[in-house]
Amino acid sequence: MESSMTDTPVLIVGGGPAGSALAIELGWRGVPCTVLEQGDGTVDHPRLGIILSRTMEFARRWGIADRIYNCGFNNDYELNVVYCTSMAGHLLGRDENPSCNAMQPPPQSPVKRQRCPQMWFNPILEKAAREYDTVDFKHFHKLESFEDRGDHVLATCLNTQTGETVRIRTQYMVGCDGAASGVRSQLGIDMLGKPVLSYSMNIFIRAPGLAALHDKGEAERYIFVRPGGTWANLTVVDGRDLWRITIIGNETMMNLEEFDAQSVVRQCMGTDDLEFEIISSIPWRRTELTAEHFRKGRVFLAGDAAHTMSPTGGHGMSTGVADAADLGWKLDAILNGWGTDGLLDAYEIERRPIAAMVAAASAENFRAWTSVPDSDRVLDVGPEGDACRQAVGEHMKRAGRADWDSLGLQLGYRYDDSPLCVADGTPVPQLDVLDYQQTARPGSRAPHAWLEDGRSTLDLFGRGFTLMRFSSTVPVSPLIDAAQEQNVPLTLVDIANEEIASLYERKLVLVRPDGFVAWRDDALPTDAPSLIEIVRGAHVHATA
Ligand SMILES: Cc1cc2nc3c(=O)[nH]c(=O)nc-3n(C[C@H](O)[C@H](O)[C@H](O)COP(=O)(O)OP(=O)(O)OC[C@H]3O[C@@H](n4cnc5c(N)ncnc54)[C@H](O)[C@@H]3O)c2cc1C
């Protein structure tokens, strides 16, 4: 079959959530890109379902938050967490959480989290990416190999429908090709961490009669405990008929041919009375891994290609979307001539520690709800059984909290040691997974507050740098001139609001295109041009 050659500034390998998010981010910035996706975009077996707050903040910036809120999930369905021995068995404990409709955004964010199963989430992102004329999203295109030639990357891919070989010349390539990333393998980059936290099996079922079968009430997740500990959970998929069971097993269970999914579903139900259809079963390994490097030459890794983690907490995809948001503005900067190569090095410096931290927190969540103290009598009838059930229920409620309630981790991750941010001498705050205290300390997500016109402060950020000025008499022209000199896009925004001024704590705050604070003070530094040099990555090699 003939081969053809095309050019693109950025080649994204993989059209899953991370690849699509990067395509949207680049499309939103007007940077042309090509996405290669080997499949047809259909998700047969939904893994992700929780879209956490930071991802919803990016979705708001991209104008697609409402599409996610209205994805089709039953937003009246209550998202409680139930601990029990089986659906028909004993109730051990319960955490009350509202439905998506009843939930309010937390005070620290203009948006709230949402449930949106992957078979709907991926197409929402892909459609949003395709709406940009500058995004060329190709299905049935499989990357086969690539060569980093120093001044460009030459990628070879196969159109699996036509058999044609397509060669693509690109300035930068990003491997968003998932946990088994071929891009990562070809780069020779290792994954560091824990390759097995557990062996698991997912069973995706349709069971319209499930709600009527039990007395446990609606829940986002039912966690099953038996003598010996936690062994499985049932997770809501669409809030109606679709559910996913995950069982924690061992290596032998990974053999699909010997796996008796019907029997496992019945054990979870605690009865044979439910009619259900098994749609699919997939074995998977729960890991805590981070790639040793996120960049090699002109090639980058993002999403599961760069980090894999236990789904406990629902952070996996969101961490990949945050990679995309971080890398997107940096690629924009370099392709538009105002960023330096150091900016691209800062991608790994900023994102790698965050990925490792979130993966560790997710593993801790898994350990917490699988380390049940003593559940041997959990099925017993009588007072000893009751006492055991109460103790296990109380433990599970305590242990599970960080899994369901992690705003501090979702919004509080920070680039404290970034060479693109200027420390202001204030002490490094402790990151609290549960509780999120907003701060405008450099390296942190710039705080949300509502403006008089109904917008959020977060709506001010994105296109370039934003210089927030809380006292209109403070001179800023040297910084604006220095930015212009280097073609760095910078917008001055005057804010006359004392509450927001006290949240930001300084008269001048420079916010990056990704909404993170780069610098703050009450007056400009004497050498304003050097601040511009720092934020455009010119000193990264010197400081990293
Ligand atoms: C049970 C479970 C539940 C989860 N729940 C959540 C949750 O609630 N919230 C959350 O945030 N995360 C969750 N996750 C994690 C989440 O599913 C992943 O982090 C996310 O799907 C990763 O997205 P990605 O785009 O990086 O990779 P993937 O989704 O794996 O996408 C990679 C894409 O690359 C394509 N590809 C691969 N190789 C090539 C090639 N050579 N050429 C072209 N295309 C290629 C693949 O076809 C695929 O479409 C869960 C994970 C599991 C296992």
Distance, CA 72 to ligand 1 centroid (Å)?
21
Residues 38 and 161 sit within 8 Å (Cβ to Cβ): no
What is the pLDDT at residue 1?
A: 63
Q: Do domains 5-73+115-190+294-363 and 416-536 have the same CATH topology?
A: no
Over the Cα atoms of the chain, what is R_g?
24
Distance, CA 180 to ligand 1 centroid (Å)?
10
Q: Which of 272, 273, 255, 275 lies closest to 263 in space, CA to CA?
A: 272
Nearest CA to ligand 1 atom 21: 317
Distance, CA 437 to ligand 1 centroid (Å)?
30
DSSP assignments along 42-110, one per residue: --SS----EE-HHHHHHHHHHT-HHHHHTSS--TTSB--EEEESSTTS-EEEEE---BTTT----TT-S
Distance, CA 83 to ligand 1 centroid (Å)?
28
**CA torsion, ordered 344, 345, 347, 352, to nearest 10 deg:** 160
Does ligand 1 have an atom closer than 6 angstroms to the CB of 105? no
Nearest CA to ligand 1 atom 49: 16
Residue 244: phi, psi to the nearest 5?
Answer: -130, 130
Domain 416-536 top-level CATH class: alpha beta
Beta-carbon count within 10 A of 503 CB:
18
Nearest CA to ligand 1 atom 27: 178
**Which residue type is seen at 124?**
I
Q: Where are the domains of the chain?
A: 5-73+115-190+294-363, 416-536
511 is written with which tokens?
A: 């916010």
CA dist., res. 510 & res. 532, Å (int): 10
Does ligand 1 have an atom closer than 6 angstroms to the CB of 182? yes
Angle at Cα 136 formed by Cα 133 and Cα 140, nearest 5°?
Answer: 150
CA dist., res. 418 & res. 349, Å (int): 7
Does ligand 1 have an atom closer than 6 angstroms to the CB of 94? no
**Residue to substitute in 317, 362, 403 for testing ligand 1 pocket (most ligand atoms within 8 angstroms of CB):** 317
Please report the atom of ligand 1 found closest to the CA of residue 318: 11
Distance, CA 13 to ligand 1 centroid (Å)?
12
145 is written with which tokens?
A: 């190999």
According to DSSP, the residues that pair with 173 across neighbouring strands are 11, 299
Distance, CA 367 to ligand 1 centroid (Å)?
23
What is the pLDDT at residue 186?
A: 98
Cβ-count burial of 352 within 10 angstroms (0-12 exposed, 13-18 middle, 19+ buried)? Answer: buried
Does ligand 1 have an atom closer than 6 angstroms to the CB of 32? no
Distance, CA 258 to ligand 1 centroid (Å)?
26
Nearest CA to ligand 1 atom 53: 47
**Which residue type is seen at 82?**
V
Ramachandran class of 515: left when φ > 0, alpha when ψ lies in -120 to 50, beta otherwise: left
Does ligand 1 have an atom closer than 6 angstroms to the CB of 318? yes
283 is written with which tokens?
A: 């074995």
**Residue to substitute in 38, 200, 318 for testing ligand 1 pocket (most ligand atoms within 8 angstroms of CB):** 38
Residues 269 and 243 sit within 8 Å (Cβ to Cβ): no
Between the alpha carbon of residue 12 and those of residues 294, 440, 453, 480, the distances in Å are 14, 33, 38, 34
CA dist., res. 183 & res. 192, Å (int): 16
CA dist., res. 360 & res. 352, Å (int): 12
SS (H, E, C) 197-262: EEEEEEEEEECCCHHHHCCCCCCCEEEEEECCEEEEEEEECCCCCEEEEEEEECHHHHCHHHCCHH
Ramachandran class of 337: left when φ > 0, alpha when ψ lies in -120 to 50, beta otherwise: left
What is the pLDDT at residue 2?
A: 64
What is the pLDDT at residue 369?
A: 82
Nearest CA to ligand 1 atom 37: 177
Does ligand 1 have an atom closer than 6 angstroms to the CB of 178? yes
Nearest CA to ligand 1 atom 1: 47
Between the alpha carbon of residue 288 and those of residues 105, 186, 261, 405, 445, the distances in Å are 30, 21, 26, 20, 25
What is the pLDDT at residue 258?
A: 81
What is the pLDDT at residue 182?
A: 98
Eight-class DSSP state of 447:
P
Q: Show pLDDT as tens, one digit a residue, over the chain (544 residues).
A: 667 889 999 999 999 999 999 999 999 999 999 999 999 999 999 999 999 999 999 999 999 999 999 999 999 999 999 999 999 999 999 999 999 999 999 999 999 999 999 999 999 999 999 999 999 999 999 999 999 999 999 999 999 999 999 999 999 999 999 999 999 999 999 999 999 999 999 999 999 999 888 999 999 999 999 999 999 999 999 999 999 999 998 787 777 778 899 999 999 999 999 999 999 999 999 999 999 999 999 999 999 999 999 999 999 999 999 999 999 999 999 999 999 999 999 999 999 999 999 999 999 999 998 888 889 999 999 999 999 999 999 999 988 888 888 999 999 999 999 999 999 999 999 999 999 999 999 999 999 999 999 999 999 999 999 999 999 999 999 999 999 999 999 999 999 999 999 999 999 999 999 999 999 999 999 999 999 999 999 989 744 3
Distance, CA 131 to ligand 1 centroid (Å)?
22
Which CATH homologous superfamily contains domain 5-73+115-190+294-363?
FAD/NAD(P)-binding domain (3.50.50.60)
Distance, CA 19 to ligand 1 centroid (Å)?
9
What is the pLDDT at residue 225?
A: 96
Please report the atom of ligand 1 found closest to the CA of residue 49: 8
Please report the atom of ligand 1 found closest to the CA of residue 246: 1
CA dist., res. 107 & res. 59, Å (int): 18
According to DSSP, the residues that pair with 232 across neighbouring strands are 224, 247
Residues 118 and 46 sit within 8 Å (Cβ to Cβ): yes
Does ligand 1 have an atom closer than 6 angstroms to the CB of 317? yes
- Give helix 316-335 / helix 53-62 axis angle, nearest 10°: 40
